[in-house]
Amino acid sequence: MSEPHDGHTHAHDAPPNPYLEKRRNGEETAALEARVKAIEDLVVGKGLVTTAALDRIVDIYEHDVGPLNGARVVARAWTDAAYKARLLADGSAAIAELGYGGLQGEHLVVVENTDTVHNVVVCTLCSCYPWPVLGLPPSWYKDAPYRSRVVIEPRAVLAEFGTELDDDVEVRVWDSSAEMRYMVLPQRPPGTEGMSEAALAGIVTRDAMIGVPRLASP
């Protein structure tokens, strides 16, 4: 409930960003809690949904669905060429083979990073994101700097994630403007040749499946 909020990582030479300094003091938080309680009481009181159902959907996205799902998809694709071909041809169907799909991932597309192509995913209009494979998005994905800038200056944004791309690498930005949901298949890093599928899943990061960093050798 009261996670520390002081983990922000600013670029060292960047001024504080007024749009991101949105932490609430105790009084403001109490006001938000009161508004939320009012709307929850209304929908429960009108019989739309039970409190237990509200608890359950929170539990699903806090504990059951997360980027480990996507990591398993990536590891399978790295170790099974036929699966990878199916994954790139029909993301939804191939991801369903591993048991994943559903809400905010009804129409999944997987795009492959290679030596010559680097894909990166955004939703400029809101926060569309492939929930069944990555869980709920991190704040930076939903905040103004990423949404606004990654379409016009993707290389600068990627550099902030430590990703420096050669000029001859084609950057492809995928703006999730409809109900299609995108996941990046990162390149398998060197030095992983002998690793099992399960071990490979352990080195795949959420951010690599959004397409912001490349994966480093373990």
Partner 1 sequence: MNGIHDMGGLTCFGPVVREVDEPVFHDGWERRVFAVSMLSGSALGPVDVFRHAIERMDPQHYLATTYYEHWLAGIERLAAERHLADAAPAARTLQAEQLDAIVARGVSAARDSDDFRPRYAVGDAVVAKNLNPRGHTRLPRYVRGRRGEIAAVRGNHVFPDTAAHLAGEHPQPLYSVRFSARELWGPDAPAGDSLYLDLWESYLEDPAR
Q: Which of 79, 83, 88, 107 binds partner 1 (CB under 8 A)?
A: 107
Nearest by Cα to 113 from 163, 157, 151, 153 = 163
Per annotation, catalytic residue among 2, 92, 126, 196 = 126
* Interaction between residue 71 and partner 1 (CB under 8 A): no
Alpha carbon distances (Å) from 164 to 9, 113, 141: 19, 14, 19
Q: Which amino acid is at 57?
A: I
C-alpha torsion sign, points 178, 137, 171, 204? negative
Q: Which amino acid is at 129?
A: Y
| Residue list 3-42, contact with partner 1 (CB under 8 A) | 3, 5, 7-11, 14-15, 17, 19-20, 22, 24, 29, 32-33, 35-37, 39-40, 42
| Residue list 38-57, contact with partner 1 (CB under 8 A) | 39-40, 42-43, 46-50, 52-57
* Interaction between residue 98 and partner 1 (CB under 8 A): no
* Interaction between residue 216 and partner 1 (CB under 8 A): no
Query: Cα–chain-centroid distance for residue 169?
Result: 23
* Interaction between residue 114 and partner 1 (CB under 8 A): no
For the bound state, the minimum distance from the C-beta of residue 75 to partner 1, rounded and expressed in Å, comes to 22
b/e per residue 104-135 (b: at least 16 CB within 10 A): bbeebbbbebeeeebbbbbbbeeebbbbbbbb
Q: Which of 180, 197, 202, 213 binds partner 1 (CB under 8 A)?
A: 180
Interface region with partner 1, contact rule CB under 8 A, candidates 75-83, 164-172, 184-192, 194-202: 164-172
115's torsion region: left (phi>0), alpha (psi -120 to 50) or beta? Answer: alpha
* Interaction between residue 113 and partner 1 (CB under 8 A): no
92 labelled catalytic: no
* Interaction between residue 93 and partner 1 (CB under 8 A): no
Report the catalytic residues.
Answer: 123, 126-128
